[in-house]
Structure 1
Amino acid sequence: MMAKELMVRVGYGHIACKIWGDSTKATHKFIAVHGWLDNAGSFDPLMPYFLNKERCVVCIDLPGHGLSSHLPSGIPYSKAIDVQAMRSVIRHLDWQQYHLLGHSMGAVKSQIYALSWPREIISVLNLDAVMMPHEHAAPRQNAFEAFGSQLDRFLKFRDNYSGTEREHTWEELASRWLNAVPDLGLDNFTILMERGSTKLGNGKYIFNRDAALHNVIGSLLTSRTREIFKDIQTLSHVPQLHIVSSNFGSLKKDQPKLEETMFLFLKELAKHYPNKMEVVKYGGPHHLHMSFPRDIANIVNRFLLHVAPNSSL
């Protein structure tokens, strides 16, 4: 089972994609969107258990990640930039109906995308993240002040960044990543680094991701208010699956119980989706689709069969 590469031209360069399956023959098409600082390779472990002859999965490297182009210096990354990249890929593919599969940050972007083009979406399959009202995600922080802090942090980075990536030995590369995400494991780190790093002539490595991604403008102010609850309900015709780990909060040192908050929010939201939304508290690490791909594929496949029982999904 081999994947193909696709480069979609955009104004600042290209969006790189990894395509599993034949998009011209597949009857069920999926756009897969990775998490923050990851890349399209994060879905590699899932494919042996998920892909079949009826499916095509296009895994996107979001801007500044993996093999995709970086934004011009001085332009901050944001949810809008990523959703624009997703739309550019889908317009290039000329797909009219498709599923969205997202992990972590990619799940949030998938939800925003589905709200923006709801008539094109067959289902939303989210792994360990959901777009929540600001008072749920960061109850001690005013949404507008958070936006201001993020923008100031980015401007400080812009003014001080040299533009030169630090070089690392392979061991240093792994140590730096796994110290931040210890539950990922060395094998999964190695998978991510196939697209996420470049080996230099001196034998050392640099990360491919844009250093500016550490200073993302994370809040779309209109989507971080209580109104998001009502907005998401407008997708009541679109089946949604949400799989929650037991370890998401450990990545947010200031919000150690975030996965429990997310689970309770999803259960409340599911009340408004009779027979359309399923919430599964799987447990395990945040990169659950990489660490337990067979289990996650089985959960997703069962959900898809429930959504379309007469299809070959």
Structure 2
Amino acid sequence: MGTLSLSEYEDVSIWVPWGHISGRWYGNRKERPILAIHGYTDNLGTFDRLIPLLPDYLGVLCIDLPGHGCSSGLPPGIQYTFVEWSYVINRIMRQFKWSKVSLMGHSMGGVMGFLHTCLAPHTVDFIITIEAVLNPVGRVKDLSAYAFNIDKFVEEVERSSSSTIYEANSHTLQHFCDFLNVYTFESVPTDRAQHLLNRVMHRSQLYPDKFYLLRDNRTKFVNDFVMTPELGTEMARRIRNKPYLIIKGSDSHYITDNDYQVITILRDQNPQFEFHEVPGKHHVHLSNAEDCAKYIIPFLRQHRPPPKKEETKHRL
């Protein structure tokens, strides 16, 4: 058996009341795929380096969350919430009539998987999370940060009606790659940044040698869903005997002491729980996809094994 090809996929558009959720379905289209969900302000390009390492007997459906990548933004004036993004898992399951879901998520996408698995464990057959347990946005203690987000959200709604705003902020591709590297505290290497830029970067009509980013900036100003340590531990207790893989970047601080309390509960009551640390920062699946795959591939082969030869013949 080989591996998935990044160039061989089917574009997917999933209806939602405000528009559509955009996705790419790689590999096997005859069976239910793994649902892959990106992190906060990223898009499905976050999995570009991991996809070609995964076994090709599987399918992987990578999506852009609402307001991210090529997916529709929420109606004007509506604020994004963590819970609304989490509803996407249920919406996609209903769209494809899945009774179960296999989840893989980075950062916020991993937290969404944790939340969904806690609320509906009977619908999840396994979960893979990269650099995520509890919601880091919900740890903010400084009320001034909430006030800032409210003010910036209203400001963004007022200015978003003008497309010239984006054209005026046109820059070279190298500028955006460098900016993303700095913005993520060097978590996204400059030479990997284009994976996250491809779905939001557009060539300027005013400055043909430059580009601008077209995305819903409301996604940057979210005040929602505080996951306290007490709530986190209670959520973890609801997840038993569920194949669960967590990968942490060794140089990242997104997984904290509060997360380790949850991890301890998951490990103690779950013989199918795995936790591994690999060299890298928060976007370790982009910077060091190979080491992540060393743990993800055996996990997949164990919990979504390849079809037996006789099963394959029967399908043909």
Same-fold call, TM cutoff 0.5: yes
- Letter aligned with residue 255 of structure 2: E
* TM-score (ref. length: structure 2): 0.82
Q: Hey, what's the Cα distance between the residues in 2 that align with 1:293 and 1:183?
A: 13
Partner SS state of residue 195, structure 1: coil
For the pair 1:29 / 2:33, whether they are aligned, the reply is yes
Alignment counterpart, residue 248 of structure 1, candidates 252, 264, 267? 252
Q: Does 1:292 align with 2:292?
A: no
Cα contact 2:27–2:60 (8 A) shared by 1: yes
Conserved? CA contact 1:133–1:229, under 8 Å: no
Residue 242 of structure 2 is matched in structure 1 by 238
> Distance in 1 between the 2:264 and 2:148 partners?
30
Aligned residue number for residue 215 of structure 2 = 209
Mapped partners of 2:62, 2:249: distance in 1? 21
Q: In 2 relative to 1, CA 87–207 (structure 1 residues): closer, same or farther, beyond 3 Å?
A: farther
Cα distance per residue 1:19-43 (max 9 Å; x no partner): 10133x23x6210000112111111
What is the aligned partner in structure 2 of residue 220 from structure 1? 225
Tell me the distance in 2 between the aligned counterparts of 1:153 and 1:110: 30
Q: Which of 115, 120, 124 is the aligned partner of 2:118?
A: 115
Q: Which residue of 1 aligns with 2:159?
A: 161
Question: Aligned residue for 1:254?
Answer: none
In structure 2, C-alpha distance between the alignment counterparts of 1:133 and 1:127, rounded to whole Å: 14
Q: Which amino acid aligns with 1:51?
A: P
Question: Which residue of 187, 192, 198 corresponds with 1:194?
Answer: 198
Aligned ranges 1:263-278 → 2 under 5 Å: 264-278=260-274
**Cα deviation, residue 177, structure 1:** 1.4
- Displacement of 1:216 in angstroms is 1.4
CA distance 1:297–1:262, change in 2 (3 Å)? farther
Mapped partners of 1:272, 1:132: distance in 2: 22
Contact 1:124/1:241 (CA < 8 Å) preserved in 2?
Answer: yes
Which secondary structure does the structure 2 equivalent of 1:248 belong to? coil
Percent identity of the aligned residues?
24
Alignment RMSD, CA only? 2.7
Q: Distance between the aligned counterparts of 1:176 and 1:134, measured in 2?
A: 22
Retained in 2: the 8 A contact 1:22–1:56? yes
Q: CA deviation at 1:244?
A: 0.7
Aligned residue number for residue 255 of structure 1: none
Deviation at 1:196, TM superposition (A): 2.4
Q: Which residue of 2 aligns with 1:259?
A: 255
Structure 1 unpaired stretches of 5+: 250-257
For the pair 1:13 / 2:19, whether they are aligned, the reply is yes
Amino acid at match of 1:80: V
Q: Alignment length, in residue pairs?
A: 294
Does structure 2 conserve the Cα–Cα contact (< 8 Å) formed by 1:248 and 1:286? yes
Equivalent pair of 2:233/2:261 in contact (CA under 8 Å) = no
Structure 1 equivalent of residue 313 of structure 2 = none
Q: Is the aligned partner of 1:40 residue 2:44? A: yes
The separation in 2 between residues aligned to 1:100 and 1:224, in whole angstroms, is 23
| 8 Å contact kept, 2:14–2:92 | yes
Cα 1:146–1:300 change in 2 (3 A) is: farther
Instruction: State how far apart, in whole Å, the 2-side matches of 1:132 and 1:71 are.
Output: 22
What TM-score results when the alignment is normalised by the length of structure 1?
0.83
SS of residue paired to 2:48: helix
Match of 1:106 in 2: 109
Q: 1:178 aligns with which of 181, 188, 197?
A: 181
Matched residue SS, 1:216: coil
